Structures are given as C-alpha cells and as structure tokens.
Amino acid sequence: MNSIIEIERLKKSFGDNLVLKDISMNVNKGEVVTIIGASGSGKSTFLRCINLLETPTDGKIMYQGENVLAPGYNLPKYRTHLGMVFQSFNLFNNMNVLQNCMSGQVTVLGRKEEEAKKIAIENLEKVGMDRFIDAKPAQLSGGQKQRVAIARALSMDPEVMLFDEPTSALDPEMVGDVLRIMKKLAESGLTMVIVTHEMAFAKEVSDRVIFMDQGVIAEEGSPEDIFGNPKEARTKEFLHRVL
Ligand code: ADP
Ligand code: MG
C-alpha cells in the first residue's frame, strides 16, 4: 500500500480530559476514508491533529515517510498539502468569492495573480460557483458557501482533503449538491478523509469506514462490513441509533 499519512499511537488531551486514546491509522493515496461516530467521540479533534490545528499530546504523524512532529520539520509546507473544509465554511467574509480562492495561492504558494485567478476559476467551475466570483460570502446560501470553501481548498492543490461534517450546517435541500461534488472528487482519485453523519453517502463513497467511540477507533472496515455486518456491539448500537 502506498501510504500518504501514517498515524501511530496518537493521543490528545485537553487538561486532564484524554480525548484521543492511542489512535493508529493510515491513509493511502487515492483512498476515501470516512469517520463516523457519536458527537463528542473525538472526530474533529482527530482531524485537527492530522493537520496540526491541534498539537498531539503523544504519538507520531508521518507524511510521505517523514515525521511531521520532528523538530525542524517544515510545518507550513506540510499544511499546504492538506486541504480542510469545515462545518462552518470559514470563508474570509471581507473578500469576494474569487479573492477567497486566490489569496492562499498568492500568499502561501507564491503564485502570480494571473495563474492563481485561472486556477481559482477552474475550481469554482468544478463546484458550479464560477458565476458568483464577485459575490461576498454574506450574499451566498450555506450550500454555496461550502462549495466555495471546497473550491478554495482545491485551489491549493492539496495531496489530501480533510472534511469535517461539511454538510451538517446546511439546510436539507443543499446537502445533496455538496455531497454530489464530494462524490465527484472521490471518483477523480483525490485522497479524502471525511467526518460525516451522512451514512448513505459514507456507504457509497468510502473505501474504508472508521467508527470512533470515546476517543478510540472501535471498528474499521469496508463500507459493506461496517454497515452490513458490524462486529462490535458499540458499532451496532450506534448504527441502530442513526440509521
Ligand atoms: P466530535 O467531533 O466527535 O463531536 P470533538 O473532537 O469535537 O468530538 O470533541 C471530543 C471531546 O474533546 C469533547 O469532550 C470536547 O469537549 C473536547 N474538546 C474538543 N476541543 C476542545 C478544546 N479546544 N478544549 C477542550 N476540550 C475540547
Ligand atoms: Mg466534530
């Protein structure tokens, strides 16, 4: 297997609250991994540790075979390889759609304005938001904002995209649009790690499903295994509650 990210024995505590307890997981190139689990089980903290928005308390994160927590490792560069899409969009509200998709390319990657603009527009076309380049986030619906957030992340040419419940804050009629775009990205071979409550979507797009419970990976497997033939009592119990 061709691992992009290898996580070994990751732990994270906030004060004396041990939120992630010894998590090990690999992400392989081109793989779509979904993470499911109850609220409070540590899913967001796990994603935030992967891109080091949170500093792990213990354990190792290897990217392309290198330990990203080693002293002197180029963290700003590492972060550019990981695109993140949040539940709450996190667009820059003072910038229009085009500027949102260009600014990181120019300031972080050092691309020229013209090139950044071309790449931004290509990605906005992919998510069907190219007609809105002059709009400010406040003028957009939640679903439109999330599509722009996806285009912004893609414009940085990430190796891996991390999604933290990208449809949880959306009105129901907008969820489908965003999921369709994510499905297209998955089919294009993009490596994705997705925290989601959309079980039908997880079943459809995942190569592997991880069920988290109280800070551990309680069970992982193919979507057929996890949804069709779960082994652990707590997986069964969770699925029974949400399906
Ligand atoms: P999930 O995304 O599965 O709902 P989270 O990772 O958000 O779970 O939260 C897991 C636990 O970690 C919760 O008990 C939450 O209160 C705690 N937690 C998350 N972030 C912080 C933080 N910044 N400071 C303190 N506790 C936190
Ligand atoms: Mg969360």
Q: Model pTM?
A: 0.97
Average pLDDT over residues 90-104: 97
Which of 13, 14, 163 most suits a substitution to test ligand 1, by most atoms within 8 Å of the C-beta?
A: 14
Please, what's the b/e burial string for 124-142 (b: 16 or more CB within 10 A of its CB; e: otherwise)?
Answer: bebbebbebbebbbeebeb
Ligand nearest to the CA of 20: 1
One-letter amino acid for residue 60 of the chain: K
For residue 1, what pLDDT is reported? 61
Within a 10 A sphere around the Cβ of 66, how many other Cβ atoms? 12
Average pLDDT over residues 58-81: 95
Distance (Å, whole) CA 190 – CA 44: 21
- 115 CA from centroid of ligand 2 (Å): 35
Nearest CA among 57, 38, 56 for reference residue 47: 56
For ligand 1, say whether the CB of 39 is within 6 Å of any of its atoms. Answer: yes
Contact 188, 12 (CB under 8 A): no
pLDDT in tens, 184-215: 999 999 999 999 999 999 999 999 999 999 99
Neighbouring C-alpha atoms within 13 Å toward the C-beta of 179: 23
Cα dihedral 232, 233, 236, 239 in deg (nearest 10): -100
